[in-house]
Structures are given as C-alpha cells and as structure tokens.
Structure 1
C-alpha cells in the first residue's frame, strides 16, 4: 500500500537513511527537524510496501518576505515548499508530489508557490519547470546559494500552455465533455479522487497513479469531436452498491493534451506511448493493440479533484444535463460552473471565455 500520510514530525523516523542527503545539504537539518517536532508541525510522507520513506514534503504558509531571497518575492501570502525530497525510482513520483503541492495551495486559496533548491537537483528542477515554475532569483545566506523557483496560480499569468498553466485551465476556445470510466480503473488513474468507501490499497506507487498525464482508451465515437485543450469531466460510473443516481459521480477535471488513433501507431510505438500513463498491463495493452477494441487514445492532465462528488441526480436536477448516452456527453460552460460549485472546487483556477 502506498499513499501520502500527513504526519507530525515527532512521529517520523529522523534516523531513516532517507534523510542522509538532506543532512549533507543542510548541516542544521536535525536541529530544524527537532524544532518542527516541538512545535507539533506536520509534513507529507510517502512510504513504500516495506515501510521505507520514498518522499517527504513540508509546506509552509509565509506572510513576510524572506530577506535572503533576491529579488524579493511578491508582498502577499505565499506557499513555501520548505523541504522536498523524492526517492526517484521510475514511477513518476515527482509528478504526484507536484500535484500535492498544487492541491495544497488551491485548497488554501494561495496564488503563489515558491521553492528553494540546489542546482545539482537537475531532474527535480526539470519537473518543476515543466509544470510552470520559473526561475525567480537566488537565496543566499548558506554555504551554497540556492535557486528560487516560483509558480503562479493566477489566471492572468496563463500562457495557453497546458503544462505551464497546470492546474489552471481556460474555457476560451475549448469545449467541455463528460467522460465515463469504470470504478475498477478510476482510482488507480485518479488517486486524489478516491471515494470514501474505497480502500487505500488501490493507491500504489506506480507510474499510472503518480503521473499527471493520464492515458484513456475508448471506442466512443464522440471522442472524434474532441480537441487539444478541451475540458474533460471524469464521470465514475456506478459500482452497483446502490442506485446509479447516487453512485455515478463526477470526481475530477482534466484537460485534453492529445487525441490519437491506435491505427496510427506501430505496436512498439503504441506500447511505449501508453505504458506510462495507463493502468493496463503490457499484456493487456498488447491485446488492445491486436484487437483494436479501443481505437481512440486520449492523453489528458489531471487538474482538479472535486472536494465533493457530483452525483448523477445532481447532474440531472441541478445542472440540467440529460444526455442520451452518459458514456460521453457535452457540457456547456454554465453547466461546468454549476458542477464546480457543487463539487466545491476552487473556481479561481478557471479562466472563463469572453462569452461567459
């Protein structure tokens, strides 16, 4: 089982060898850790199946400027990534941590995130830059200067790039769709959208769970009408534990990166393209390629997990949706906003089109 625990510092094993590299980078790390323990502060910790730490994330709200950062950060409440370490092992864990940071800022309604990092951590820096962090300046005061990277969650700073803007998205020049997914696939692909009655055993430390970009295979013809940048509502179908009006729910918001067709790939290309972002085994993917059972391939970013799931009943009676087919259906901008309201999502993440 693998999922983030939000734990107090005094319940985390400081003697774990996981923290050795942090001691090397920060000679006063143990003293810092002890102060956090005394103050009963908390951090996100991810353990593997052997109860070993594979990721550690400490986040802190700051309201005063850090005098060691040049140029100064904006004079506003910011979220600082105080300490971040990932034990990289080929499962896209860095992306899962990036989403955790974004989600935390979104929940607290904070529009600026920053992290200080040594330039030797090239892989982690590359992930941060991909998802919209930018070089800001330098933090001095230690034996070695650190880079300062800043991420804006203000829609005015959007560039129209799906990755740079993440998790922000725009309805301008975009259509919105509902797309169904079976429960057995849902939570492995969308781990932060787990339902309360589901087991955390589903949340394995595997690439399809961790990656921000998700692969979806389908035979539904309406996918031919979808385009890059379209908004996709993930509609988890009923698990048959109760009436579908209450068990079929919208859980997540995604943005479409790309639509392609299985016939445009060789076998090797298809397996390479789908292996990291889908929850299917290599054997299953080979079967899909040979059978062409699901010819349409969607790749989309996992932007928002709704705080409250929006039921089929609400979609019909409050939102006003009544599609002929719930597998894939069109959603208007006004209906999207109603769904975001019902789902208690932070609507500041959405830049509305000029027609709104």
Structure 2
C-alpha cells in the first residue's frame, strides 16, 4: 500500500536568488552575507517548500519537499553534530507530517554519512537515493558511449563514493570497457579496481583530476560545493556527464570549450506527478534520488533502504519498482545541458532553449 514521502533539499550558494524564489522578490534584496550569517547562527527551522501529488489523484498530497536551511558549504564545513542535528530536525518534520520514507537530497546525504547518522531511527525510513541514481547514470552512460565509437576511455570521478562504487560495478558487469577510476583515496581505488577488473574490463586508477584529460567520457560523482572540473581537464570532443548536486561544472565551460558536451545527469521523467514548489528543474522532471524516494513510498516500503554505499542489488530492486510504476514515469529523461535540451552527440550544437528552469534548492 502506497505511503507518503518527504525529500530533503537545501539552498544553493546563491542564497539571495533562492530566498527570493521561495518567499517572494523582497527576500532577494537582503544581502548575501546577511542570509549566510542568519542560516549559520540563528535557529532557522526546516520548512516545507513544495508538495507533490499524482495526476490521477488530484488534490491528494503524496510527498513534500523540505528545505534544510544550510548552504552547501555550511553542510560540509560546520561541525558535523550541528549539521546532522539540523538535518535530523527536517527528518522529524517529515515524520510528523506523515512521511514513512525520507529521501536525502543533494549534500544532506554526504553530510549525514550517506544516511548512516539516522540508521538507529525506527520511526521513519531513510534513503540517500543513490541506488536509483547509479542505475539511471548507467543508462545515461550507455546512451552516451554509443556516440563515441569503439573502445572509449571512461573516467569515473568519485568512483569510490556511494554512487560511484555501485555504478562502476554495474557498468563492469554489463560491458567490456576501459575505465579510469578517480578519487582521493588510493587504497579504496585499488580495492575497487581489483574487484571489477577482468579480461575485457581494463581498469586504471588516479588521484589526480588532470588525468581525466585522456577520457572520452567523464562521469562526475563527487560531493563538493564548488565546480571542480576545468577546461584543462578535458580532451577535445569529450562528453561530461555531471551527476552532482550542487553541480561540479560551471556554465563558463560552454564558452571556453564549445567542442565539449556537458550533460546534466541523474534526471528522471515523472509525467504522472505534479509539483507545487521548486526543485531547480523543468516541470515533470525529478532527480533520481527523489525518484527513488517516491518509488519506495509507492511500493509501501518500510524501514531504511539505501544508506552508505549503494549496492548492486538495491539498484536492481529499484529498477524493478520503476518498471512496475512505469505508467507514472520513472524513466531516463531526454538529455539536457544546464537545463537546456540537447542532442547528445559531440558534434551537435545546442537545441533551442527549453522551458525556463524552476529554480531553487536541490
């Protein structure tokens, strides 16, 4: 039996803009430094900033978007106990409003150790959404590599993370490949490489972003409040699949490197749902981590689901649920680049801009 869900988001680094969108234009006139100081020092509570309902059940709220009032930088740099207490308050709010499963969006997941900070809770289920994110990223990789000819080199940046480790295993199980696994911890990289390498899967590792300049496809899966990928990191004609929120690519790259295609990753179509509010996406789109939360609620899942590293069997299970509820959507969305629809081939130019983005926290 279906149940209600909640999904946690947070403001982007452009607080003035986000607050103006959420609460009205006068709030965008408050100086950025004032907003940052307020969120850091004042006991600003979590707040419901959006609701979701099924098209076939109009007027019935099935899910809520709850904003954790911390910036990306604050989520990753303030004392962990303070940050997790703020995220925990948002989980409490979700529970009190009737949610049986809560999804951790954007940096609320790494800030709570992939959800492990709430593993002892028995009053509500928690998922970091990374299983479906890995599954949808795999499908996007398969479509993109089909445009690259024979034997492309694929760099997975953040390969040892929750999404990256699952994605690497999923891809290596299904495809012959040349993989470059990039992360900070060389020991974890070596262990992952040893786990997936076989006769038709060639694996190299690196702790240096500069090495991705050899890759034909770069998949970004890192948790950082800043754009990490720069022009010098990319070979001519490369494709970048940016599966990060906040994103690790800057729109300036489009001007600096018109030969490169940057694709927004982790996007799922959900035509069977309506959203009142704002998650920084065009209508009828959702992040895969949000979609995972929705699928668990639709299936009546009880307890926690994905905490810490996503597992291959979890990705396979959530794909089965996506197939079961395919009448509501839950399939890979057409490719976009910074919100604009694109033709996903390296030589094509951008299509005409799509509908304006629904802005704010994600």
**Band the TM-score falls in, shorter-chain normalisation:** under 0.3
Structure richer in helix, relative to its length? 2
- Taking structure 2 as the reference length, what is the TM-score of the superposition? 0.25
Q: Report which of the two has the higher share of strand.
A: 1
Q: Which has the higher contact order (CA 8 A, sep 6+)?
A: 2
